[in-house]
Structure 1
């Protein structure tokens, strides 16, 4: 089975060949699901580490540390975009549009957040379940607001 959750698990457990092999076999719907899952995982991880309204310095330091660990050339992850992804996850900025640079930044940030946490295998299972829930919730279109009845005068 070529499940996006299994691919993400492979990435997060360091099984990069398995992860890459799964990604190469993805269909278009699986790619969309993987993108949603990655966004959901980042949302959960960010909210476990940071809080809305906090000082910007810890976010800036975290992004710099994650880029140092996972982007040795310094060209793959735009720090402004990475910080925007974190603030968007906290609800302090609008969502960042999906594109290849956002996917790379999400991946690097997620790896950094989870490495810092040092999750046990059972904790990773719970994390992936929460990420799936967040991905499903964020992938649902926002229902239109019902029309308001005219107010009596």
Structure 2
């Protein structure tokens, strides 16, 4: 098993993800938010590129919508990009689908779709990610979300 680290989604064209496991890491926000949402009972997650697509999924499919740009919660969405939003007992998420769009994390997810498997990595699920990756017995590329193409 070989492990590579891609420090920015903008560098992904330099990596061949086919047949590999992509571990997406945006620890402070997107991947921690997605992991928390799933832990709280969200059944499916659509990581989308645009705010318009996120809003459309909310309208057309009844998804919970979560979005931010430049670290600020986007207006008109159910939640921002904070794990704490999914811990609010006044906003139950169990059994629902999430559409999420972020500045960096969802970009990394979307650009990794050629991988054989994609997993969100965060401190919250580190041991589960390690077990999953080991069981795959494939080469791994850790994809860091970075900040607007920087790392």
The TM-score normalised by the length of structure 1 is 0.29
* Larger RCO (CA within 8 A; separation ≥ 6): 2
**Structure with the higher fraction of residues in helix conformation:** 1
**Structure with the higher fraction of residues in strand conformation:** 2
Larger radius of gyration: 1
The TM-score normalised by the length of structure 2 is 0.29
